[in-house]
Chain A
Amino acid sequence: MSQIEQDRQRDLFEAAKLDGPSEASRDAMWTSIQGATASGIGTAAALKATGVASSKLALGIALGATLTVGIAATVVALTRPATMGSPRTSERIAPRSLEHVTRNVDAPPPVIVTGRAVVQQAPQMSVDLDQKPAREQASAPATRTGTTTMSEHDRLAREARMVSEARGALHRGEPETALRIVRAARAQAGARLVPEELTVEAQALRAMGDEDGAKRAEADLAGKFPEQALSH
């Protein structure tokens, strides 16, 4: 192997050593992992605290945690405003929706201002099973809402970027690309900009000569979001 080739390989490996998730991505993944393992962590913590290794107690705690998560999910589904997303939003929030289990019921519900809609998170049941080290807890905000809101922001920012990309494609005269992007954006879990996406979809379909498809998208928009300005 020549020196140049060796240097190149070293360069590639060095780049790979730096590869890793962003802070926001780490937080989002931890929240999901915590949700998926909530009953297990809660059970183990409880057993450690009391020193009682009772399998019946563990089963009871696990069942209780599961029930609490279920109630919290139901509260979210029932309290979400109808205008914030498609009717299927409440179905699509799993599995990452479990991030809400870290939120404290006493904390004020976070409000995310999107520019087009104000999304208010419902208060959640307190199932804070976080095991962050003391160093991180000291620097963390008073409530656990920061992580979740960051994750929501990330998702929303990503979706907004996709809508923006689609509009750009439409302006460049690439309606097929625009259509693919908005449909992909709409297919994402917890899509929040469905009215905007349907609007771009209708415009793209019309630009492609699919008048019927455009009308269907507009009808879909008007049907799902009758109070949205974009529907008129």
Chain B
Amino acid sequence: MEATLNASDFRSLYDAHVAFVWRNLRRLGVAPSDVEDRVQEVFVVAHRRLADYEERGHGPRAWLFQIVLRVASEWRRHKRRHPEDADGGVAQDLGHTEPEQADLIARRERLDQLDAALSALDVDKRAVLVLHEIEEMTAPEIAESLAIPVNTVYSRLRVARQQLENNLRMQDRKSGVNLQRAAIRVIVGGAR
């Protein structure tokens, strides 16, 4: 990548980073039904700010992630003001129904678990965890992406891992309780 980006690089930038933008919007809480629109927004903003981009040795991911953070933050603010869709979310669910293949369903379930556990983390810690564990960024890269000191990256990462672990345990406990309740309902129903 050149030191600066111009319009002719834009398609290449899109192709190389659309999955990165998509993934991180999702992990930062943007709903599946809205993620396409938010990806577009990120790249429209990126296009508008091409002139501001400066290569600092980490490629454009850090720069794009800053836009992703802002777009995701605006989306969350919008959702807080307008929490429900008029249709109750039916279009969202159906619009993103993939072919019912076992591996796809299993992967989606894992992503749902991860997103549920991540959603309990505050955005600062979530961003560090996602960039490190999923995007495999180094601490200096993350520090640049989030405009924070490297030591802060390490401390947030440590706390985020601990919180994620706790959240996943809590999920397990809840699903265990739900299974117990379901079993009791079946047993009681059978006795009647």
A interface residues (Cβ-Cβ under 8 A, vs B): 1, 5, 8-9, 11-13, 15-21, 25-26, 28-30, 32-33, 36-37, 40-41, 44-45, 48, 130-133, 136, 158, 161-162, 165, 180-181, 183-185, 187-188
Contacts and interface: CB of A to CB of B under 8 A. Distances in A.
10 contacts: A9-B165, A16-B134, A20-B18, A21-B35, A21-B36, A33-B14, A36-B40, A48-B8, A131-B8, A158-B95
Nearest to B11: A131
A32 B43 CA distance: 10
Nearest to B97: A161
Interface stretch (B73-81, B84-92, B176-184): B84-92
Nearest to A13: B133
A98 to B, nearest CB: 11
Contacts of A8: 168
Interface in B26-40: 26-27, 35-36, 39-40
A13 B35 CA distance: 19
Interface in B119-151: 130, 133-134
Contact of B44 (A18, A36, A158, A183): A36
Contacts, number: 120
Given A12-B113, A48-B7, A20 B91 contact: no
Contacts of A29: 18, 36, 39-40, 43
A175 to B, nearest CB: 14
Interface string B1-21: 000001110111011001100
Given A5-B165, A181-B94, A15 B110 contact: yes
Contacts of B111: 12, 15-16, 19
Nearest to B18: A26
Judged by DSSP, the binding face of A is helix
Interface of B: 6-8, 10-12, 14-15, 18-19, 22-23, 26-27, 35-36, 39-40, 43-44, 47-48, 86-88, 90-91, 94-95, 97, 107, 110-111, 113-114, 117, 130, 133-134, 164-165, 168-169
B36 A28 contact: yes
B6 A44 contact: yes
